[in-house]
Amino acid sequence: MYACDVRGIGESQPDTCGADQFLKPYGSDYFLAAHAIMLDRPYLGQKVGDLLRVIAWLKAQGHQDIHLAGRGWGALAAAFAALLSPAVTQVTLKNALVSYELIATTEDYKWPYAALLPGVLKQFDLPDIYAALQDKKLENLEPWGAMDGMNT
């Protein structure tokens, strides 16, 4: 078993805007996510890229069957990485967001800015991703709604 903190989470969580400001309004999470959008490189996409590099490294180390697991905010990056990587053969998500439509239709949602993808609903929603992951033995445990994203 390997564990990975993608950028901005766990050991790599920044204090860019001061100590204990990560999820405060206009705190580090917002700061990094807003800048990533301005640079046309959504923060969630960068986290997915981190996971894809880890998966490639695992494959290079000889691992054949990669079971990717993610929880809460990490479940989103794990879902996208699992979809994009043929090396992933099994996926377990816990507390994954049910859909971006829920975020769009909830006035005061509780998910961090970094979990959002600009314009995503013009193309697809998370249930489409989860359906595509059924071939990879997706287990989607205890999904979260729009008001649950700060429970991590």
pLDDT for 73-129, tens place per residue?
999 999 999 999 999 999 999 999 999 999 999 999 999 888 999 999 999 999 999
Which whole-number Å values give the CA distances from 134 to 21, 64, 76, 89, 90, in the listed order? Answer: 38, 19, 15, 10, 9
Q: What is the pLDDT of residue 96?
A: 97
Q: What is the pLDDT of residue 20?
A: 74
Q: Which residues, 6 or more positions from 10, have their beta carbon under 8 angstroms from its beta carbon?
A: none
Q: What is the pLDDT of residue 56?
A: 97
Instruction: Identify whether the C-beta of residue 6 lies closer than 8 Å to the C-beta of residue 47.
Output: yes
Confidence category of residue 5, pLDDT binned at 50, 70, 90: confident
Q: What is the pLDDT of residue 127?
A: 98
Q: What is the pLDDT of residue 101?
A: 97
The string of DSSP letters for 29-97 reads: HHHHHHHHHHTT--HHHHHHHHHHHHHHHHHHTT--SEEEEEETHHHHHHHHHHHH-TTEEEEEEES-B
Which whole-number Å values give the CA distances from 23 to 8, 17, 36, 67, 122, in the listed order? Answer: 11, 10, 16, 30, 27
Q: 16 pLDDT exceeds 90? A: no
- pTM confidence score: 0.91
Structure tokens given for 71: 């929880």
- What is the pLDDT averaged over residues 127-146? 97
Query: 18-69: per-residue pLDDT in tens?
Result: 777 777 777 888 888 888 999 999 999 999 999 999 999 999 999 999 999 9
Q: Which residues, 6 or more positions from 88, have their beta carbon under 8 angstroms from its beta carbon?
A: 55, 66, 67, 68, 81, 82, 136
Q: 13 pLDDT exceeds 80? A: no
Q: What is the pLDDT of residue 63?
A: 95
Q: Which SS3 state, helix, strand or coil, does residue 139 take?
A: strand
